[in-house]
């Protein structure tokens, strides 16, 4: 994120230069190939000051440079600022078969990896990391991995057993214990059986006791957290 911000700043400075004076010297300086710091810590610091300056001197967005085919002519600069993607831009995958946009984009996406057929002759409009398949494949996964198939190993007799155990002794056979024993999720245990009402009431009153011990700060913080979750699901955040 830091690196991106720096690059934007550099690009906007560069835009100013090209559009106002088009000084060749400064653009040559900016065009000099430098290594962009890509270490995990997002290193903004090299061992010397001049190296730091050089490292942070990032080449401009290709759209700002003069096209090599028509030097000296006018060209359109397209480099919109970073912003959250709009939900009104339907991803290619979500377009129905009959949509004309699908047909229009199909060749480009089909032969994107081709080295002989080039559909985009002009300069690439964006040099996003997302165009790089390696970047996507290496990006860390978050949450549960849906790509691994679920085992579905429990049989109806297991479910009966779970029900019996949980009803007999809900304290000893808690949801966590059962899910650990049967190698399934806690949600599945809760789907199979709900604990007896007395047990639930006991848990609820114990929670209520804990809640009553909260001071005003903690209570307010909990309430804020609850409201933040609510706002998140109502798309207010």
Partner 1 sequence: MKRLRADRWTGQLLVARSSQRGCCPAAAGALRSARSDQHYLPVRSQWTAVSSPFSEATETTFATTLQAPRDPSELPSPIPERALHSAKLASLHARLSLPKKLPIQTLARTLVDASADENPLFNNVNLAFVGQTVINYHVSEYLMARYPRLPMEIVWASMRGFAGVAPLFQIARSWGVESAAVPGGEVDPGLLQFTTESPGVSLTKFGYRRTEAMYLEKYKWRRGISNRVVFDDDFGESVNVTPGTEQTAHEAEMQKKERENDEEEEENEYSMRRYGDDVTRSLAEKAHAHFVRAVVGAVYMHCGRDAAHNFIKAHILSRTLDFGRLFSFKKPTMELALLCDREDFDPPVARLLSETGRQSRTPVYVVGIFSGKDKLGEAAGPNLDHARLKAAMNALKAWYLYSPGEHVRVPSDMLADSAKKWEPAYIDIGEIISR
Q: How far is the CB of 204 from partner 1 (least distance, A)?
A: 22
Minimal distance, residue 224 CB to partner 1, in Å: 12
Contacting partner 1 (CB under 8 A), which of 71, 85, 215, 216?
85
Q: How many CB atoms within 10 Å of residue 67?
A: 15
Cβ distance to partner 1 smaller for residue 215 or 233: 233
Q: In a 10 Å sphere around its CB, with 0-12 CB exposed, 13-18 middle and 19+ buried, how is residue 189 labelled?
A: buried
39 belongs to the binding site for partner 1 (CB under 8 A): no
The region, left, alpha or beta by phi > 0 then psi within -120 to 50, assigned to residue 225 is alpha
* Residue among 34, 65, 95, 154 that touches partner 1 (CB under 8 A): 95
Q: Which is nearer to partner 1, 80 or 85 (CB)?
A: 85
Using CB under 8 A as the binding rule, whether residue 130 contacts partner 1 is answered as yes
Dmax (CA) for the chain in angstroms is 85
CA of 173: how far to CAs of 111, 177, 192, 197, in Å? 57, 6, 14, 15
Residue 226's Cβ-side half-sphere holds a number of Cα atoms within 13 Å equal to 6
Contact 57, 4 (CB under 8 A): no
- The Cα–Cα gap between 17 and 80 comes to 17
Minimum Å distance from CB 171 to partner 1? 29
CB of 167 to partner 1, least distance (A): 27
Residues 133-172 that bind partner 1 (CB under 8 A): 133, 136, 139-143, 145-147
How far is C-alpha 74 from the geometric centre of its chain's CA atoms?
37
Q: For partner 1, what does the binding mask look like between residues 3 and 32, x meaning CB under 8 A?
A: -x----------------------------
Stretch that binds partner 1, among 47-55, 69-77, 132-140, 198-206 (CB under 8 A): 132-140
Q: Assess 72 for contact with partner 1 (CB under 8 A).
A: no
Count other C-beta atoms under 10 Å from residue 129's C-beta.
11
Q: Which residues form the interface with partner 1 (CB under 8 A)?
A: 1-2, 4, 84-85, 87-96, 98-99, 129-130, 133, 136, 139-143, 145-147, 232-237
């Amino acid at each position: 994120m830091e690196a991106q911000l720096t690059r934007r700043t550099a690009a906007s400075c560069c835009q100013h230069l090209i559009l106002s004076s088009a000084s060749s010297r400064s653009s040559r300086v900016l065009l000099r190939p430098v290594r962009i710091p890509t270490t995990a810590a997002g290193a903004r610091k090299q061992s010397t000051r001049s190296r730091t300056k050089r490292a942070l001197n990032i080449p401009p967005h290709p759209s700002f440079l003069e096209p090599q085919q028509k030097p000296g002519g006018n060209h359109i600069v397209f480099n919109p600022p970073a912003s959250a993607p709009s939900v009104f831009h339907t991803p290619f995958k979500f377009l129905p078969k009959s949509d004309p946009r699908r047909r229009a984009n199909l060749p480009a996406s089909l032969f994107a990896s081709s080295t002989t057929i080039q559909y985009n002759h002009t300069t690439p409009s964006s040099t996003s990391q997302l165009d790089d398949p390696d970047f996507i494949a290496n990006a860390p996964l978050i949450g549960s991995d849906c790509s691994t198939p679920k085992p579905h190993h429990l049989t109806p007799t297991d479910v009966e057993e779970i029900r019996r155990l949980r009803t007999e002794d809900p304290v000893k056979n808690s949801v966590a214990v059962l899910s650990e024993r049967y190698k399934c999720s806690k949600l599945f245990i809760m789907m199979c059986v709900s604990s007896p009402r007395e047990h639930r009431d006991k848990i609820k009153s114990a929670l209520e006791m804990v809640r009553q011990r909260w001071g005003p700060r903690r209570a307010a913080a909990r309430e804020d957290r609850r409201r933040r979750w609510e706002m998140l699901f109502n798309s207010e955040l």
